[in-house]
Amino acid sequence: MALNLVKQNKAFGGWVKQFSHTSKVLGDLEMKFSVFLPAQSENSKVPVVYYLSGLTCTDENFTTKAGAQRRAAELGFALVAPDTSPRGANIEGEDESYDFGSGAGFYVDATTDKWKKNYNMYSYVTDELPSLIASELPVDDSRKAVSGHSMGGHGSLITALKNPGMFKCATAFAPIANPMNCQWGQKAFTGYLGEDKSAWAKYDASELVKSYEGPQLPIFADQGLADNFYPDQLLSENFIEAAKTNDKVDVEFRFQEGYDHSYYTMATFIDDHLDFIAKHI
């Protein structure tokens, strides 16, 4: 088996499991991911939701803080939470800041010389990991959705928009919705992709949504109005306005009074996101 079981815990009739494996697209580094398998998976393959976490996170932040397993168990969904970057690449500077390098892969495939061997999180979450999950775990790869928070919300939006038909729908919490125009995105894109802004546009949801072609794509998002990164880093309205130009994308973007950037917000609204997914998956 290509997966190594690190640990497991019984939850809501199913199992939360953490696995490790060697990632070829990330330069043969060991990666970990967490998965919730509901009881239904013991008898048949189940739909799967990929959840992409934000800056500084690992696979365990969503798994332990979002409170998603109860509703996923009721709906019969598997939940897969990958890490947010390669680990242990030993690249000079990769651990110097919270918003670039370790814990901050930004779900792109790096093209700059220093990072391109290891920092290929886009290919990891859209190709290598789903293929591994489909071959090794009881999930129905034809019925999958993607979700994410902050940097992972950016990841959720771009992976759905860049791969028409791969995901039945996408959801996001406080996504970095226009990274080309915020400090977080500009720093990451310059480091991983270089100075050419046409390369940046290929990983920017507010650019990608304008030209999306494919099956109708439902998108659901929540943004807290007490979020200290809103609007400057997240630029929600830029995405909302861009999406209005494309009738192939259906966007429901909610603004929540008093809610911030934390997992308390996510835990409050996670059931709404899973229920939205259930309508489409």
Q: What is the DSSP string of 208-266?
A: HHHH--SS-EEEEEEEETT-TTTTTTT-HHHHHHHHTT-TTEEEEEEEETT--SSHHHH
Share of the chain above pLDDT 90, in %: 99
How many folded domains does the chain comprise? 1
With a cut of 90, say whether residue 232 has pLDDT above it: yes
- E strand residue ranges, the chain: 4-11, 14-23, 29-37, 46-52, 78-82, 139-148, 170-173, 217-224, 249-256
Tokens of 188: 């990451």
Q: Is 227 a catalytic residue?
A: yes
| CATH code of residue 245 | 3.40.50.1820
Catalytic residue among 154, 227, 236, 280: 227
First to last CA, the chain: 28
Average pLDDT over residues 76-101: 97
Q: Is 150 a catalytic residue?
A: yes
With a cut of 90, say whether residue 68 has pLDDT above it: yes
Task: Provide the 10 A C-beta neighbour count for residue 99.
Answer: 17
Average pLDDT over residues 48-68: 98
Considering the chain, what is the average pLDDT of its residues? 98
Q: Which pLDDT belongs to residue 168?
A: 98
Average pLDDT over residues 94-106: 98
- Half-sphere exposure of residue 140, counting CA atoms within 13 Å on the CB side? 16
Q: Which pLDDT belongs to residue 29?
A: 97
Q: Which pLDDT belongs to residue 261?
A: 98
Which structural domain range is residue 84 located in?
4-280
Q: Is 236 a catalytic residue?
A: no
When pLDDT is cut at 50, 70 and 90, the band that residue 218 belongs to is: very high
pTM over 0.85: yes
- Cα gap 240→237, rounded to integer Å: 5
For 161-200, write each residue's pLDDT tens digit: 999 999 999 999 999 999 999 999 999 999 999 999 999 9
- Quick one: CA torsion of 26, 29, 35, 41, rounded to 10 degrees? 90
When pLDDT is cut at 50, 70 and 90, the band that residue 1 belongs to is: low
Catalytic residue among 149, 261, 273, 280: 261
Catalytic residue among 34, 85, 102, 150: 150
